[in-house]
Amino acid sequence: MRALILLGLVGLAAQLVDGSLGMAYGVTSTTLLLAIGTNAAAASATVHLAEIGTTLASGISHWRFGNVDWKVVAKIGLPGAVGAFAGATFLSSLSTEVAAPVMSLILLALGVYILIRFTAFGLPRGNLGKPLRRRFLAPLGLLAGFVDATGGGGWGPVGTPAILASGRLAPRKVIGSIDASEFLVAIAASVGFFVGIGSENINFAWVAVLLLGGVIAAPIAAWLVRHIPPRILGSAVGGVIVLTNVRTLLRSDWIDASGGVQTVAYIVIAVIWAAAIAYSVREYRRDKANESVEAVESELSRRTPTEEETASA
């Protein structure tokens, strides 16, 4: 019962993060399932089954708050479903001994990416309004869907920053559209896992509590996306993912590091992680201060009469 409650809380927290950042539900949940010894394919299948419900709830919530561009959903979601099905069948064909470290490597890479991306750059906001073309979104969806299924997460970490970097869609609509399109990816990946491994390795009680936590959090996250500091949250989540998957890799048969090496690695990661969060907090405060100054200057310039207006008066 304690494990189920913990998983429910993880599902809730992961959906709060995912709904606010447009990423990290699958990465966070799969990382935990791997950490407690779940089979890699079963872990990804469990998360994707739960995501069928959480992404549906999240997509509806984002739509109600006006955060979804349905043209983007269609252009990226269908190729994403194809990639997810291919990734699920590929992961299902790997042995457990090979699959677990491979998945941890993918999750670690995604965690590093999230940590660096949000700590160093935050969310880009330029060039809004230009159309996003199918020739960009279709290959992106195919790749993101494949990574998502093989890594137990990755749709958001691959898709969200790529669309944000284009600067053509408002950040809240990027996040809402990615969350809504992930519904198609979750269905396709789940079908792929059922074809590859069947249902006997999937714990449906875990699916249910992850789903319950995610559904509760979905509308809250859709509302928070306008208020929460993504830069700080991204740094925090990235550090958790990096630390957990480094732990998995150091204890795997691939590395089998000694206790001393593991301790040093954890300390180094913890220091870098704390520094990243501190930097994100500082940059967020500085950006807010600059925005306040710009707003005041803009208001003053609007109220101050120009020389021509003074002369005419």
pLDDT digits (tens, 9 = 90+) for 85-131: 988 888 777 665 666 677 678 778 877 887 887 788 775 555 455 66
Q: Note the pLDDT of residue 167.
A: 62
pLDDT reading at 279 higher than 90: yes
Res 270: pLDDT: 92
The reported pLDDT for the residue numbered 87 is 84
Q: Any idea how long the chain is?
A: 313
Other beta carbons less than 10 A from residue 105's beta carbon? 16
Average pLDDT score over residue span 211-216: 75
Q: What is the mean pLDDT of residues 51-69?
A: 81
11 or 271, which is more confident: 271
pLDDT tier at 311, thresholds 50, 70, 90: low
Q: Please check whether residue 107 is in contact with residue 31, taking contact to mean a CB–CB distance below 8 angstroms.
A: yes
Give the residue, 202 or 105, on which the prediction is more confident: 105
Higher per-residue pLDDT: 77 or 229? 77
69 has pLDDT over 80: yes
In this structure, of 127-131, 196-200, 219-223, the range with the lowest mean pLDDT score is 127-131
The pLDDT > 70 percentage for the chain reads 69
Which one of 115-129, 147-161, 175-189, 295-309 scores highest in mean pLDDT?
Answer: 175-189
Average pLDDT, the chain: 76
pLDDT at 308 over 60: no
pLDDT in the model for residue 1: 64
The angle at the Cα of 34, spanning 29 to 78, to the nearest 5 degrees, equals 50
Q: How high is the pLDDT of residue 6? A: 66
Domain ranges within the chain, ordered by starting residue: 2-304
55 Cβ contact list (under 8 Å, min separation 6) = 179, 180, 182, 183, 185, 186
What pLDDT, on the 0 to 100 scale, is given for residue 276?
Answer: 92
Q: Is the pTM of this model over 0.75?
A: no
Of the two residues 245 and 56, the one the predictor is more confident about is 56
Give the pLDDT of residue 38. Answer: 67
Judge whether 230 and 17 are in contact, CB under 8 Å.
no
pLDDT of residue 312: 57
pLDDT tens string 242-269: 877 787 788 777 777 888 888 999 999 9
pLDDT computed for residue 290 by the predictor = 80
The mean pLDDT of 24-46, rounded to a whole number, is: 70
